[in-house]
Amino acid sequence: MSLDVNLSEPDEFNCFELHSAIKKVSDIVGINNCKYHVDYLNDYGYIANIFRVILTEDGSDKNVSVIVKTLINTARKELFRELHYREVKAYVNVIEEFQLLQNEIESENRIVLPKCLYYCNDKGNEVLILEDLLVDGYEVNETLSMNIKLNFLQVSSIISELAKFHGLSYVFASKRSDFDEISKDFHDILFQESFLGKSKLKNYFVESFDMSLNVIDNMDIKEQLESLRPKLLRLLQMFLEPKKYSVFCHGDFWINNILFKEQKQCQSLCLLDFQAMRYANPATDIVYFLYICTDSAFRSEYFEQLLDVYYNSLKSFLSLFCIEANTVYPYEEFVKDLNENKKLGLLIALLELRIVAFVPDDKTSRELMASELDLTKLPDDENIFQNKINDVITESVSNGVINELISIACEL
């Protein structure tokens, strides 16, 4: 096996452990006498270095492209290691099972999920190798990064696909007697003291919350929200703990963690990056996306329609497995959960909207959150950030969400 390198930082890849991992993957995908070519895919590498590796069989035109994720060497590597472990666990215990379950239905009805080809959890040699869906025509959607609003067709396609992703948890539960044991291993980690205590991330959430409060125009509301600061993490933990109706949730569900094929029609979507996967109520993923990727005008006009889009997709998908949606998740409970989790949507907006205004095109919010950049500074375009915050504040005053949230906090 030879190494053909095209890499701006070859030292990041040039080590025995990675070469050995590539050799194992070449055997898995059936590339004999392999040589490979490496491209560096990300310029920032906040949680992981991400490479595209093209494996070619010497003397033939047979080749396979894979994505390689390795941990970066930083003072926060211990923190990143936890996220790596969670993503590996997600692929091994959940995503692979989802893929097997979908063998029961026709290919055109399946959701697209990346295949994990290889992983290593050995300390210092952590690596995750996935199939490369970009070569199949999938690509990122740069709409939000260009400050262009998503339209209803785009959002409904995303919400419909999310419903199928969630639906596979109900199928999983119906097929496996050990489902409860597996799901218990996917408690939320992002807002837990044991996780946040490993770095300055505990302060990050408070700093982010304060930054959002500082741009609120309504001083009375700002003062009311300041009372939430001491209970911020507890509120987040409360909303994200498993409920009566729970599924495997993506956990960081927004536009940068989705790939699109023929994206103008949104004919095919693929979910990516499962470092934050958790077992929680489905509504947590929905409000995360809606409050980060749409504005109040969109939510006001389409929220009720999107409830039907999600539930109809869930019902149709589960019927393929002879499961009745209303049995595993009654529609009335679904609507109740969505309305209850609007309060979580507000909290997420106050914590994450500055990331959306700040984030480079190819970065996930979780990567930036965990980076060593100074995120206490306002985004370059402060007006965008300020407008987004005041938009969600005005909405949350109008629909009573702020009053409800403060009432709950008073009881904690």
Q: Burial of 39 by CB count in 10 Å (0-12 exposed, 13-18 middle, 19+ buried)?
A: middle
Other Cβ atoms less than 10 A from the Cβ of 169: the count is 23
Which of 263, 264, 294, 364 is CA-nearest to residue 148? 294
Which CB contacts under 8 angstroms, 24+ apart, belong to 173-181? Answer: 173/328, 174/321, 174/323, 175/101, 176/97
Tens digits of per-residue pLDDT, 307-328? 999 999 999 999 999 999 999 9
Query: What pLDDT, on the 0 to 100 scale, is given for residue 4?
Result: 52
Which DSSP state fits 60? S
Contact 212, 203 (CB under 8 A): no
Query: What pLDDT, on the 0 to 100 scale, is given for residue 44?
Result: 43
Could you say which residues of the chain have pLDDT below 50? 5-10, 43-45, 361-366, 369, 373, 375
**SS3 at position 241:** coil
Query: What pLDDT, on the 0 to 100 scale, is given for residue 98?
Result: 98
Query: What pLDDT, on the 0 to 100 scale, is given for residue 139?
Result: 86
Which domains, from first to last, does the chain contain?
A: 1-131 (3.30.200), 137-411 (3.90.1200)
The alpha carbon of residue 282 and the mean position of all alpha carbons in its chain are separated, in whole angstroms, by 13
Pairing mode of beta strands 258-261, 247-249: unpaired
Cα dihedral 399, 400, 404, 407 in deg (nearest 10)? 170
Query: What pLDDT, on the 0 to 100 scale, is given for residue 361?
Result: 46
